[in-house]
């Protein structure tokens, strides 16, 4: 059976670098008191919008920032509305749909930002823009958006999550310099990030960013999934504010958030420093700081969770599972902890418990493609091929650019002798890996594609031979009786290698020696 599969391990992220630009913006200095989380949630719900499109592909979120008459302006991430060939619609909190009348981006300024407009006669609230330069590591933030639902056809509902800023970078690709730990989900891209004053200080756009952390005892990076996120600070937008908005009713307040109450400053600082050390690959010192943070604040589920990740990199699976258990005890909806514990159970060979954890991770976060991918592999191991195929289908639906999901689905199609489907999936996977610059995965996908193409050609040849044989036997011949001749065949699952074939899609590495694609899992 062809099982060249890819299993997603958790991955530590490296936030990319970018730039800011300058323009004139007028600021109002107004004293503002820190708000309760419930107050900020109300502000978020009133100003956050859904952004959908006419193709039915996964959408994103945005935030209303300006009003001129009946014309409203929404700020979002450019990757949410970058396709110029489709139309978009804004859905407001009252479930009204408003066609987008214009889309403009700030790509020329090196920012993954766009502002769109819609017209409405009914009044909608506008977010107050704060000063993101006051944002510092350890500060609390709130992220708002409309994550994807369990199925693409279902409506999306507003979610409001809290987090902690872990660092502010000097530069980052596309402007994502604000980094924080928060539990976000697909579909929340383009949504607002608020400070404790309820002011807009960033646009969320990167969630569960992929990278790696290296264990000091090994030269091989250990993949981890961290829950790190990144936003573009609002200052990047206001300093590049377009002329058509500079005279509008932007609500801007240059106020520093008040000191948070009931916050253990030392515990927060230890946690933030531990996260930064972990991001740099210094797992030993990171563990020391995170242990101290959890000791000072035993309910810090995130600090406990990251201790579990570090244990996992050292292959101390029992300790990792124990820390994941503690994290889940503190936060029963910690989908990331279920995901990671499932991976640890899988490594221990306890596939049933791994399956249960991935079920829980998907129950809490039904738009996480990595959980579907891993659960699909567990189901395959347990003999549930159709269940695995359904999970890969779902992963592709929620993440159309997730190459590993296409590749694993292609592997099942190959095993089912659906070579047309396998070729289609392997081709899509190789294209995605090529675009992403993932050379290793690209080479694996090309290897699989070549083998699937060869199997397809053999299958088509056999079908043609069978057809010719049937046509021959149906021809009337009264003078000489005929004896049917069995045509030559070859097993479609094991392509005939007696005749060399030239790959349709050229590999970038040496041709494979075997006609059965090798297994590839990120375990």
Pairing of strands 213-214, 200-207: unpaired
The enclosing H or E element of 88 equals strand 88-91
Distance CA 234, CA 471 (A): 72
Distance CA 351, CA 344 (A): 10
Phi–psi pair at 442, nearest 5 degrees: -60, -45
Domains and CATH numbers, the chain: 34-244 (2.40.10.120), 401-463 (1.20.58)
Region of 279 (left: φ > 0; alpha: ψ -120 to 50; beta: rest) is: alpha
Distance CA 269, CA 209 (A): 22
Specify the pLDDT at position 490. 40
User: Nearest Cα to 128, choosing from 260, 30, 23, 243?
Assistant: 30
For the chain, counts of helices (H) and of strands (E): 14, 15
Region of 456 (left: φ > 0; alpha: ψ -120 to 50; beta: rest) is: alpha
Distance CA 76, CA 22 (A): 19
Predicted confidence (pLDDT) per residue in 258-291, tens digit: 766 666 777 888 888 888 788 778 889 989 999 9
Specify the pLDDT at position 214. 35
Specify the pLDDT at position 468. 75
What is the separation of C-alpha 421 from the centre of its chain, rounded to a whole number of angstroms? 25
CB atoms within 10 A of CB 274: 27
Specify the pLDDT at position 148. 82
3-state DSSP assignment of residue 65: strand
Q: What is the pTM of this model?
A: 0.68
The per-residue DSSP string of 173-199 comes to GGG--EEEEE---TT-TT-EEE-TTS-
Specify the pLDDT at position 262. 61
Q: List the Cα angle 509/512/518 in 5-degree steps.
A: 110
Specify the pLDDT at position 438. 87
3-state DSSP assignment of residue 105: strand
3-state DSSP assignment of residue 242: coil
Specify the pLDDT at position 436. 86
User: Is residue 203 a contact partner of residue 143, using CB atoms and an 8 Å limit?
Assistant: no
Q: Helices in 416-474 by DSSP H: which ranges?
A: 419-436, 439-473
Specify the pLDDT at position 248. 57
Specify the pLDDT at position 222. 40
Predicted confidence (pLDDT) per residue in 184-239, tens digit: 888 899 999 999 999 999 999 987 544 433 333 333 334 456 677 899 999 999 88
Low-confidence ranges of the chain (pLDDT < 70): 1-34, 150-153, 208-226, 246-249, 259-263, 473-523
The per-residue DSSP string of 38-50 comes to HHHHHHHHHHEEE
């Amino acid at each position: 059976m062809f099982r060249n599969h890819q299993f997603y391990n958790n991955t530590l992220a490296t936030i990319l670098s970018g730039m800011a630009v300058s323009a004139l913006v007028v600021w109002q200095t107004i004293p503002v008191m820190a708000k309760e989380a419930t107050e900020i949630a109300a502000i978020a719900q009133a100003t956050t919008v859904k952004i959908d499109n006419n193709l039915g592909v996964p959408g994103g979120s945005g935030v209303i920032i300006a009003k001129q008459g009946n014309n409203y302006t929404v700020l979002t991430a450019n990757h949410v509305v970058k396709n110029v060939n489709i139309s978009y619609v804004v859905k407001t909190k009252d479930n009204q749909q408003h066609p987008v009348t214009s889309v403009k981006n700030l790509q020329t300024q090196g920012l993954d930002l766009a502002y769109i407009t819609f017209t409405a006669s009914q009044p909608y609230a506008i977010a107050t823009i704060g000063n993101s330069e006051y944002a510092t590591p350890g500060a609390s933030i709130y992220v708002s958006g409309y994550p994807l639902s369990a199925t693409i056809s279902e409506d999306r509902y507003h979610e409001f999550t809290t987090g902690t800023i872990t660092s502010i970078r000097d530069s980052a690709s596309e402007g994502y310099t604000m980094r924080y730990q928060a539990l976000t989900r697909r579909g929340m891209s383009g949504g607002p990030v608020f400070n404790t004053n309820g002011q807009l200080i960033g646009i969320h756009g990167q969630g569960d960013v992929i990278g790696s952390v290296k264990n000091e005892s090994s030269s091989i990076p250990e993949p981890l999934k961290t829950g790190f996120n990144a936003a573009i600070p609002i200052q990047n937008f206001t300093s590049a504010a377009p002329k058509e908005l500079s005279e509008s009713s932007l609500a801007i307040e240059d106020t520093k958030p008040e000191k948070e109450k009931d916050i253990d400053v030392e515990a927060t600082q230890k946690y933030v420093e531990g996260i930064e050390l972990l991001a740099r690959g210094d797992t030993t010192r990171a563990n020391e700081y995170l242990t101290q943070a959890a000791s000072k604040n035993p309910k810090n589920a995130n600090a406990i969770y990251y201790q579990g990740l570090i244990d996992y990199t050292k292959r101390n699976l029992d300790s990792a599972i124990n820390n994941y258990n503690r994290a889940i005890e503190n936060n029963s909806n910690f989908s990331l902890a279920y995901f990671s514990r499932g991976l640890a159970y899988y490594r221990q060979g306890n596939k049933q418990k791994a399956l249960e954890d991935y079920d829980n991770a998907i129950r809490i976060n039904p738009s996480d493609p990595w959980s579907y991918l891993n659960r699909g592999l567990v189901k395959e191991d347990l003999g549930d091929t159709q269940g695995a195929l359904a999970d890969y289908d779902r992963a592709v639906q929620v993440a159309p650019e997730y190459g590993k999901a296409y590749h694993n689905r292609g592997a099942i199609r190959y095993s089912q002798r659906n070579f047309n489907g396998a070729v289609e999936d392997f081709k899509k996977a190789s294209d995605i890996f090529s675009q992403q610059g993932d050379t290793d995965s690209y080479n694996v996908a090309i290897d699989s594609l070549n083998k699937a193409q060869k199997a397809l050609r053999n299958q088509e040849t056999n079908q043609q031979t069978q057809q010719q044989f049937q046509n021959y036997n149906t021809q009337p011949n009264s003078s000489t009786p005929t004896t049917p001749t069995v045509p030559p065949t070859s097993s479609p699952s094991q392509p005939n290698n007696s005749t060399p074939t030239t790959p349709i899609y050229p590999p970038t590495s040496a041709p494979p020696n075997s006609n059965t694609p090798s297994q590839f899992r990120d375990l």
